[in-house]
Amino acid sequence: MYVSHFIGGEAYAGKTARSGPVFNPSTGEKSYDLSYADRALVDHAVQVAARAGKLWGDTSQARRLGVMFRMRELLIANTDKLAELVGVENGKTIADAKGEIGRALEAIEYATSAAEVTKGEYSRNVGGGIDVFSIREPVGVVACIAPFNFPVMVPMMMACMALAVGNAVIVKPSEKVPAATFMLGQLWKEAGLPDGVWNAVNGDKEVVDALLEHPLVPVISFVGSTPVGEYIYQRGSSFNKRVAAYTGGKNHMIVMPDADLEEAASAFVSAGYGSASQRCMAISLLLPVGQETADRLIEILIPKIRGLHMGAYNDPKADFGAVVSAESRQQVLAAMHKAVEDGATVLVDRHHEVAGQTGFYVGASLLDHVRPDMDIYRHEVFGPVRGIVRVADLDEAIRITNDHEFGNGAVIYTRSGPAAHRFVAEVKAGMIGVNVAVPVPVGHHNFGGLRRSKFGDAHMFGPDAARFYTDAKTVSQRWAGVEATQTVSMAFPSNG
């Protein structure tokens, strides 16, 4: 497998001093060494993007949107190839990888509405023969810093609208999963995107800092952990950049006594353990209301969790695959061990079943009697260890949900309209589910969390994305001979 930086419409053939290994999580074996960019190479990529972006921004809307439509067809045609790359480097199953590619299609489809969501307003003769209108223009170069858990979906969610409104992009994928981003660059070129409008540079913090500090990169989009996202937001803002950082989650799922418990249990297992729980919108904590609800729900949950099949990304029987790295595996197991030390009760512990496998596997586990003062409650665990927090009533459930520092998503399962209405009104989270376990919105609605799950005012997806990637101009104009005056006036102008 050959993976490189993608700059100016082609693979970068030069050498840099640093590199890092890329692994296959399903086997634990190293696939290849990835060249890391240095500051000089980042500067080269930015200069290329800035020149190409100026021309692309002046290109007609019709031509830009034509590229979007062609890219959509290429993404569909190459789904199997992309899914294979995602599986090999991320560890998620082929079915899961194809699911994220389906969501990437939504990003392209919504980007084709760029002309609609960026059109301005016009007011005729607001006073004194002056007409006022507004326009939106591309910012130039957008840096997209993407995570390992969605190697196709997130770069496309970030970049599609940025491209559609006339910007060039530089994608910095996770150094754990660079191959899909490299292939996307090749597909964009095939779709007719001019060379230099989509670029990818690989590396670690040195590359990120170079992008944050570069004067020709005015906009930064990031998805990843909260500590890194906060750093990127603060560092980027200090250079007067526009930054949107979408960060961690600890998503609560409240189950009311009147809920369909079989449905709720299936939803929790799917949303909690899918993709080995490496999703910012995964359900982390189950909050059954009342002891009877908790006990009945646990009886249904345990056999479902014990029945999950772990396996390689290309194992058709696998429900989920390995976590992304050996370090991730150790972090997940350490979090579970600490939770037991803190007093949590183990209901299911399957990680011992994978002791003989060479991949980065972590078995599905479920803990009961988790409390808000425990580390397992406070911190995001990017692996298949989920917890149950028993609550007495809806009041306590809402209070606990809102007291957490993260506010990415929150879910309620109930048959009660009043309970659902109150939950929607009172819970402080960016994405709410009512009998929907993974409330990630479709492409034409805004995506993003609240509190420490998002830094900055923008959203991915939805009309906010178009505004984030453009600058607004308001123009007041009057032509000679139209109610003009030749006299000098020192008063502040009015439109009377």
Active site residues: 280
Cβ–Cβ < 8 Å for 23, 31: yes
- Token pair listed for 473: 């101009």
Distances (CA, A) of 455 to 367, 427, 449, 450: 31, 19, 9, 8
Q: What is the DSSP letter of 405?
A: S
Query: In angstroms, how far is the first alpha carbon of the chain from the final one?
Result: 69
CA nearest to 430, candidates 398, 453, 464, 397 = 453
* Alpha carbons within 13 A on the beta-carbon side of 60: 3
Q: Could you tell me which residues come within 8 angstroms of residue 201 by beta carbon, excluding any fewer than 6 positions away? A: 5, 7, 37, 41, 42, 45, 170, 171, 172, 207
Structure-token match 């005012």, residue found: 457
At 355, phi and psi to the nearest 5? -60, -30
- Buried b vs exposed e over 16-54: b needs ≥16 C-beta within 10 Å? eeeeeebbbbbbbeeeeebbbbbeebbebbbbbbbebbe
DSSP per position, 91-102: ---HHHHHHHHH
E strands in 119-211 = 122-127, 130-138, 141-145, 168-172, 198-200
How many whole angstroms separate alpha carbon 163 and alpha carbon 301? 44
Other beta carbons within 10 angstroms of residue 205's beta carbon come to 10
**CA 418, CA 244: separation in Å to the nearest integer?**
35
Nearest to 179 by CA among 90, 67, 96, 49: 90
By the 10 Å C-beta count (0-12 exposed, 13-18 middle, 19+ buried), 1 is classed as exposed
Name the residue among 343, 329, 426 with its Cα closest to residue 377: 343
Contacting residues for 426 by C-beta, under 8 A, at least 6 apart: 398, 402
